[in-house]
Structure 1
Amino acid sequence: MRSNFTKRAHRLAILGLCVAGTAPMSRAQEGATGTSFIETFDRLDTKAWYISDGWNNGAHQNCTWSKRQVKVEEGVLNLTFEKRQSGEREFTCGEIQTRKRYGYGTYEARMKTADGSGLNSAFFTFIGPTDKKPHDEIDFEVLGKDPGKVQLNQYISAKGGNEKLVDVPGGANRAFNDYAFVWEKDRLRYYLNGQMVHEVTDPAKLPVNAQKIFLSLWGTDTLSDWMGKFSVEGPTTMQVDRVAFTAAGDPCQFPESIACTLN
């Protein structure tokens, strides 16, 4: 966890950074309303972020989204899962999402995931029918049953099945790790701690619709084959130190950004 002073210094350092990469990427697609940004969670700007509250995503989710499970402390976003009755569910959980939609570019998050089988700590982008668009999605998901791996996936018009598991040395729940993907019109590259771990070039497996950025922690009693048998003792927290988006062709947003070194 970095101090707020260090985070401010990083923002100032952006002024001296070069434009991301030397080869221009495709322009953002129709519907993208968001521009490049870095979020260091000195506070939670609710004009930029929507906090999910008072509902759930369906029968597979055993918790109710609650704004009480979303807090910013000492420059870190904390999303907490705990046993507390809310609405139809025995547990509560936390999620935030951007109000704007983002297109081609570099997406990055530095996070430490929660403990507990049956939980999902996720950094992803999504758009769907509630926004009058097809279901497109790009995922980093750490399943509590095995925090030594992160699952990558894409949905294109609601079709998934593109999962890939990547090792997270030392465990995603033991330390902060850097997760990033670079989304272009003709390819998608996933990165873990600065190293590319997966590349997708099949047009049928590449999302095309601008999406919102999500950070979420939730649990399940029913998807045990995927997420493991639910077993959570006491509150557990997913922590996010930083999130950034660098639009194609824009200067990178912080010195360690993948976008600073892309070709």
Structure 2
Amino acid sequence: MRRRLGQVFLSKAALAVCLLMPFAGSAQEDTSFFEPFDTLAKSRWFISSGWANGDHQSCLWHRDRVAIENGTLLLSLTADPKEDRDLSCAEIQTRDRFGYGTYEARMKVPYAEGMNANLFTFIGAPQERPHNEIDFEFIAPRQPALQTNFHTAESSTNEEVHRTSEDDGYRTYSFIWEPDRIRWFIDGSLIRDQRGGVLPDEPQKIYLSLWSTDTLIDWMGRFDPASAPQTLQVDWMGFTELGSGCAFDESVLCNPDVDASL
């Protein structure tokens, strides 16, 4: 999904430049990008609105819950009724699908019982493809926790729960997806290294979302509407194709301690 050579990305402060250059020996267009969220480009992003993912979701996706302010994407969950739900929430997804490479975002994550804030990739039944997914999911059934996970058509029970804390700070969350390996990082520090086995192998869409439940209690707890509003804040998001190294200043691939020989 990433094929580029000699590509340069500027830091957010210097504005982001998305260069489309073919990888050596390939005629395919490079799909790497850096998204500073100065605007929400309709050519890249689609806003989920007017539906939910199922009865387990106690809020309705709605475009009113998606905003850009001062270069920050704001995804909110509020006690504003929409259609048949008393709560409304936010999700954006890429229009394109992306494959092997490095996915990362700098985010300030809210935690509340019964709520899931997340960065993930997904393809599946809605696109008439086998289920493939890679996750960062932030939940708080009893206390703040990060769950990393991946799904394939063969297996969906690959989660690991990581200790975390709610300190109201921005963190950079990254995962590097290779054919035989997935690595998850926080602020450049490795938190999980999954090698071998049956791993996702389908190009996927990228999602950022915030949603609630009053039924998935064993996993997430029950959301209390009185804890709304909640907001997931995203400073930037980037994707770097497999085969490319350090592409923008904030990337995990710029960390000399991270093997960037992808």
| Mapping of residues 110-189 of structure 1, within 5 Å | 110-145=106-141, 148-157=144-153, 159-168=155-164, 170-171=165-166, 174-189=168-183
With CA pairs under 8 Å and 6+ residues apart, which has the higher RCO, 1 or 2? 1
Shift of 1:251: 4.6
Question: How far is the alpha carbon of 1:146 from its aligned partner?
Answer: 5.3
Contact 2:111 2:139 in 1 (8 A): no
| 4+ runs deviating over 3 angstroms | 144-148
Q: Which runs of 5+ in 1 are unaligned?
A: 16-23
- Structure 1 residues 75 and 114: alpha-carbon distance in aligned structure 2, compared to 1, 3 A threshold: same
Is the alpha carbon distance of 1:119 and 1:34 closer, same or farther for their aligned partners in structure 2, counting shifts above 3 Å? farther
Contact 1:33–1:101 (8 Å) recurs in 2: no
Q: 1:238 aligns with which of 232, 235, 238?
A: 232
* 1:7 matches 2:17: no
Alignment counterpart, residue 83 of structure 1, candidates 79, 85, 101: 79
* 2:35 aligned with 1:39: yes
> Structure 2: which 5+ runs fail to align?
1-9
Matched-pair contact (CA < 8 Å) for 2:107–2:235: yes
Note closer, same or farther for the CA distance 1:230–1:186 as it changes in structure 2 (3 Å cut): same
Task: Provide the secondary structure at the position in 2 that maps to 1:111.
Answer: strand
1:7 is matched by which residue type in structure 2?
A: K
1:6 to 1:249, Cα distance in 2 relative to 1, 3 A? closer
Matches of 2:204 and 2:70, distance apart in 1? 29
Q: TM-score, normalised by structure 1?
A: 0.85
Q: Secondary structure at the match of 2:81?
A: strand
TM-score in terms of structure 2 length: 0.85
| Contact residue 245 and residue 253 of structure 1 kept, 8 A | no
Following superposition of structure 1 onto structure 2, how do residues 59-78 of structure 1 map, counting pairs within 5 Å? 59-78=55-74
Identity, in percent, stands at 42
1:130-185 deviation per Cα after TM superposition (whole angstroms, max 9, x unaligned): 111011100000003356421000000163111111223x42x6111111100001
